[in-house]
Amino acid sequence: MKEIEQRLSDNGVRPTAMRLLIYKYLAEKETATSLTDIEIVFAKAERTTLYRTLRTFEEKKIVHQIDDGTGIQKYALCEPGCDCSLEQDLHLHFHCNNCDETVCLTEHKIPHINLPEGYVTEDANLVLKGICEKCSGH
């Protein structure tokens, strides 16, 4: 818990009890997390608090937001030292059509694409959809 406290402080986020718990939950989870997921786990807490916690984490680069095409915003912890706003740190995400979970594939960066003149790329999102390793049985 001490390390988490440190991590939050380092990123300019006051380490409150709630925030530590949410961080811990995200750290233990292997898949991307929606607000609703967290809401269910921390049923006692206020929706808004959880919502704002995630937003704060995102602003302070502790988590990155994931758009996996389900229409529901998901979040996952950033790797230490990763700056998800930089093109070279953009990795792809995999959404399983079977278990409905989304995972970060941080090893797989989004390939650079050459666009016609005039287009300036600032950000990119690549989501692959299919069956994940757990569901395919490998």
Residue ranges binding its own copies (CB under 8 A): 67, 69, 71, 73, 92, 94, 97, 105, 108, 110-111, 113, 115-134, 136-138
Tell me: does residue 46 bind DNA (CB under 7 A).
Answer: yes
Contacts of 131 (CB under 8 A, 6+ apart): 96, 97, 98
Asked whether the beta carbons of 107 and 89 are under 8 A apart, the reply is no
Asked whether the beta carbons of 13 and 62 are under 8 A apart, the reply is yes
The least distance separating DNA from the CB of residue 137, rounded to whole angstroms, comes to 28
Asked whether the beta carbons of 95 and 129 are under 8 A apart, the reply is yes
Select from 39-47, 89-97, 117-125, 128-136 the region that touches DNA (CB under 7 A). Answer: 39-47
Which pair of tokens denotes residue 44? 């006692």
Among its own copies, DNA, none, the one that 46 touches (CB under a kind-dependent 5 to 8 A) is DNA
The least distance separating DNA from the CB of residue 19, rounded to whole angstroms, comes to 5
Question: Strand 63-67 relative to strand 73-77: parallel, antiparallel, unpaired?
Answer: antiparallel
The least distance separating its own copies from the CB of residue 16, rounded to whole angstroms, comes to 29
